[in-house]
Every structure is written in structure tokens, then in C-alpha cells.
Structure 1
């Protein structure tokens, strides 16, 4: 006759009651009914440490003089002494669901704790009450507390259903958040690199790129590639050429641009040619500048953030240039 299953030796860190349950199932599967045979199998497979303990507990008698049921009772009373009911119930009522613990796992752990509480006929109500009171999710808890007729089965079904819905909602929110971030990145203007507007209304729509010299974007958004050193040298050369001040010897000292200074590549503002400067009797510093191929005299104010001209001069010299609303940085 074939043998079904195998019983390992008992280890003290494990639950002896569970071990005896598996032992009974082994006897049942292999149709072992004789008490002497059960005892012999148990004493053979229980292990050296368990047998030694059992021998001491049975002294002066020998373990093989006891019945199988008697041996199990002797070990059970020693390994699992009768618990204090009030202490076991205290542990049961203090048990709360962990943040990472699923509802079904929480209920399973409550059942394990209730095993030593002797709730008897009150077991289902005790499990229901502890399930509701110990839930981590306040949303599920409020829902269960609003139910007029609630047994353990109904409470479990509602809790599991809401838990699954909350999980799906959180996953959906994460997907939406990720999609929103990608959309915000993709909405960046290809002309200037900023967001909050479309390319057709971009302030730099008519600006000339300092790299490729094409109209419609600034250098930091230029898609054409240049050898870095060669391109930088061209920009530096042009910048030094256009920003050199040339003064009259009798009025102002000559100023040369330091070769270590470099223009900001990402700037979208036009660099106009500055040729000469002169002082007047009232000590104002005047500069001859060229704007859109028009020679124009402007006052130099080193503290000004922008350069402006009057409406009258605009109409007189630059009426062919369409005004655009300025963008603040």
C-alpha cells in the first residue's frame, strides 16, 4: 500500500497544535487506526529533542507505555499552557490593521488571535466589531458604521469592495499625474523654451537666432548643430566687434571689451551696433546707435533695465515696425 505524505520532526519554534493536526491527517490518509501504531509513528518522527522532553515529562514511566492521545495531551499542556483569557482578549482588542495590510489578511490575523479568547458563540460579533474598529481606512470605517444591519460577512464584503475601489482610484490618479507632467513638458514653446503660450503668439517669433541666423527662434532652441568651439568663436568675435566703444580723445577714455567676457548664448534680444559716445555740456552721456539700419542718438543710462524712445520719434523714424506687447521675464 502506498504511503501518502511525510511528517517531519517537530521544532519548538513552531505551533504544536498545528503539528498534531497534520499528524492526524497523515494517519487518516494512510488509514492508520491502531493506537499503538500511531504512538510508534509519532515517537519515531517527532525528533530527538521532542522525544527527550516527552521522556522527562512521563518519568518515571516510559513514553511507550502511554497512549497516543495521552502523549499529545502531555506535550500540549507543557508547550501551550492554558492562556489567561483576559490577557488574550486584550491583545485581540488592541489589534489594528497595518497601513500595508489588506482587509482579508487583517481578518485572518484577527481569527488567529481569537482562537485563544474563548469567545464561543460571540465569536462572529467579536470579529465584526474588531474589524470595524481597527480598520486603517477611515473611508471604509465610516461606511461600515453607517450600516444599520451589519454582520461579519457583510462587513467583510463592503470593506474588500471599497479597498479595491480605492486602489484603482489611486492607480488612476498616478497615471493622470504622470500624463499631466508629460503634457506640460511637451507644451514647451519651440521658439523660446518657455511654457504658458503657443508658438504663434511667442514674443520671439520674429527674432533672429544668433547661431543659424534664421528668423523664428532664439539660440537656445536652435535645432541646428555647430562645432562648439567654432560657433562660440564666431559669437565672441561678433559680440566683441559690436560692443566696442570708440570715444573722442578729448572727452572720454577708450573702453575695450574684455576678451574673457562672453555673450549669453540664450539671450533673444538684439545686439545693436554701438559706435561712438560723446558728452554734452550738461554732463549727459550720448551714444550713436544703429537701430534697424537707422542712425539714432540715445542717452546712456547704466541703471535702466530697458531702452525706450518717445512716441513722436517712433512715428518719425520707425513707423514701419509693428509694435508688440513686451513680455516680462
Structure 2
């Protein structure tokens, strides 16, 4: 066990603090075993620890004999009488009787302060009862105060126990209420999210069940239940609509191929200016291109993104090139164009002087 240090020297400029200083020295006296030593040793240690003018002050005291000079209790009493101020008992009692628990103060702190304030009030044998009364009346919790006033045989010890226990339980209940509030808030958020999800699903299902006027078949039916789905139009040969609802102005022949740049990325969408049966045979608008030993006429300068080769024309080729799968989308003014594939063409014609992808 480490050696205990003695209290710091006493501040002679603050005489009112001597009672508290002496209490600490007495604790040190017991803890170090100084209590069991000779009285002269105890007095010498006391005066040395006090420091300053303690020895000179000691010499001014009057003792009946040499034994009193070495009696620790007698010397302590004389020091207390010298330093102890003359208390204004009326003022101290006034402060005590008006003391009440503050809003930010615990019951334990309130009790300790009542003990301290009563120390010099000279309540004598009635000190405990006086502290009890002030504690009951000064409590911030008036419900607890009323309960204590109705309690039979209420002494100071019972008052302190009931007050501490009440505050402990009240704090625990407050914590539990806070936890329950947080739990309910979380559960409410979860319920709200579930209700929102449920409403979204219900709305989606309602939209699915809604009857619409279909522009592909001309009938009324629920979504995704069109009878024209998978059917081929007799007018334009395209799928998923009936001829009576066809939006093509002229009859179209399904496209078999188109001429595009080799670097054209897959998945893109390209647009044609128009795809119709050819009525104009004027030579300036056409160019003949040899494909697989067969000369094919192409209409040029149409403004389209790509040039296409019809399936009927492809079927006329003597040595048909093998078509590769084309992952692009081709649209005309009125509707989509079916793409069957593409093949590579080497052409010396000016408008196709580079390798091109022929669809």
C-alpha cells in the first residue's frame, strides 16, 4: 500500500475553513496509525502539517499542566475555539428553512446540502427532525411530498429511503417510456412503408386489370391481352396488329437487308426516310451494284440512315450470301421494319467505296 500524504498546510487567511481542515487531518491520523502513538507525537505532527504560525499560536494557549499540552483532543478544541467564527444562528436558520430542491438538482444532492446547512444552526437534539421536515416540504415533486406527509411514524431515515427510491423508480420509468416511444416510432415507419408498398402493388394490379381501347386490334380488352399479339398484318406484313388498325399508308415488303457502316454499334436504332414500292424509274436516282454475281439497283440520296435490300430481291441472288444476325432496330416513318440479318459487301461503286454491312 502506498504511503498516504498528509493534508496540505492550513490557509491562515481563511480561518472559517479550519473545521473542515481538521476533519481531514483526523482521517489522516486514523489511516496512518498516528492515533495510536504518543500524544506529543500527534500534537507535533498536527502543528507541522498546519505550517505557518501554528507553533507560535500553540504557545499562546494556556494549559492546566503538561499532560493537557500533549492531549490531542484538548489542543484541537482550543484551535477550533480560536478559528471558529461567531455564527449568526438566526441567519443560518433562515437560509436552512428557505432551502428547496432546485429543478436540476437530485434528491441526494438536496439531502447533503441540508445536512451541511444545519451544521451550525444549533438544532441540537432536534437536528434530525428539522432536516426531515425541511426535506419533505422542500421537495420539487409535490406528489411525493404529499405522500410523505401522510406517512405514519416518519423519521429522517425513512424519509431519505422513500425519497431516494421514488426518484430511482421515476427515472427508470422515464427511460422505459423513451425506449417504448422510439420502438413505436420505428414500428410506425415500418407499417407506413408496408402500407405504401401494398398500395403500390394494388395500384399496379388495378392498372393491369384496366380495360383499354386497343389501337392494335380495334377492340376493348385488359392490358397485355390483345388478340392481335403474335398475328401478322395482311396489309404491311408486320406483326402484332390487324389490317384494320394498320398505320402504314402503303403496302410494305419485309426488309431482308440494309447497308450500314461496319463500325455501327449493335443495339442502336436507325431511321428510314421512306420504304415504299418503287414507282419512279428515272435513272439519276438509281445505281446498279453487283452483289453475288447479280446486278441490283439501289435508290440513292433518299436521306435515310441506312439502305435496305428487300427479301424478294435477296431471294433473286444467284449465290446468296450467308446472313449474320443483326442486333439493331430499324424504323420507318410509319412503323418498324423487320430485319433478317446482314452480310459483308465489297463494292467499287463511289457511293459504297468502303466495306459496308448489307442487311
TM-score (norm. length: structure 1): 0.51
Q: Rate the CA distance shift 1:148–1:8 in 2: closer, same or farther, 3 A.
A: closer
Distance 2:35 2:159 in 1: 42
Any gaps of 5 or more consecutive residues in structure 1? Answer: 209-214, 217-269, 271-290, 296-316, 322-329
Which of 124, 127, 135 in structure 1 is aligned with 2:128?
A: 124
SS of corresponding position for 1:9: coil
Report whether the alignment pairs 1:292 with 2:294.
no
Q: Rate the CA distance shift 1:318–1:155 in 2: closer, same or farther, 3 A.
A: farther
1:147 maps to which residue? Answer: 151
Q: Rate the CA distance shift 1:74–1:200 in 2: closer, same or farther, 3 A.
A: same
1:72: how far off?
3.8
Count of residue pairs the alignment pairs up:
209
Q: Tell me whether 14-23 or 131-140 shows the greater mean CA deviation.
A: 14-23
Q: Rate the CA distance shift 1:205–1:16 in 2: closer, same or farther, 3 A.
A: farther
Task: Indicate if the aligned counterparts of 2:7 and 2:25 stay in contact, CA closer than 8 A.
Answer: no
1:206 maps to which residue? Answer: 205
Distance 1:151 1:42 in 2: 39
1:94 maps to which residue? Answer: 98
1:175: how far off?
0.6
Describe how 1:116-265 pairs up with structure 2 within 5 A.
116-189=120-193, 199=198, 204-206=203-205
SS of corresponding position for 1:82: coil
Task: Indicate if the aligned counterparts of 1:7 and 1:45 stay in contact, CA closer than 8 A.
Answer: yes
SS of corresponding position for 2:205: coil
What per-residue deviation string (whole Å, max 9, x for no partner) do you get for residues 266-297 of structure 1?
Answer: xxxx9xxxxxxxxxxxxxxxxxxxx93369xx
1:108 maps to which residue? Answer: 112
Q: Rate the CA distance shift 1:36–1:179 in 2: closer, same or farther, 3 A.
A: same
Q: Rate the CA distance shift 1:69–1:121 in 2: closer, same or farther, 3 A.
A: closer
2:304 maps to which residue? Answer: none
Structure (1 or 2) with the greater strand fraction: 2
Distance 1:86 1:104 in 2: 26
Task: Indicate if the aligned counterparts of 2:89 and 2:121 stay in contact, CA closer than 8 A.
Answer: yes
Name the Cα RMSD after superposition: 4.1
Distance 1:203 1:11 in 2: 84
Rg: which structure is higher?
2
TM-score (norm. length: structure 2): 0.48
1:141: how far off?
1.3
Q: Rate the CA distance shift 1:31–1:81 in 2: closer, same or farther, 3 A.
A: closer
Task: Indicate if the aligned counterparts of 1:104 and 1:160 stay in contact, CA closer than 8 A.
Answer: yes
Q: Rate the CA distance shift 1:206–1:144 in 2: closer, same or farther, 3 A.
A: same
RCO higher in structure (CA 8 A, sep ≥6): 2
Task: Indicate if the aligned counterparts of 2:7 and 2:24 stay in contact, CA closer than 8 A.
Answer: no
1:131: how far off?
0.8
Q: Rate the CA distance shift 1:144–1:294 in 2: closer, same or farther, 3 A.
A: same
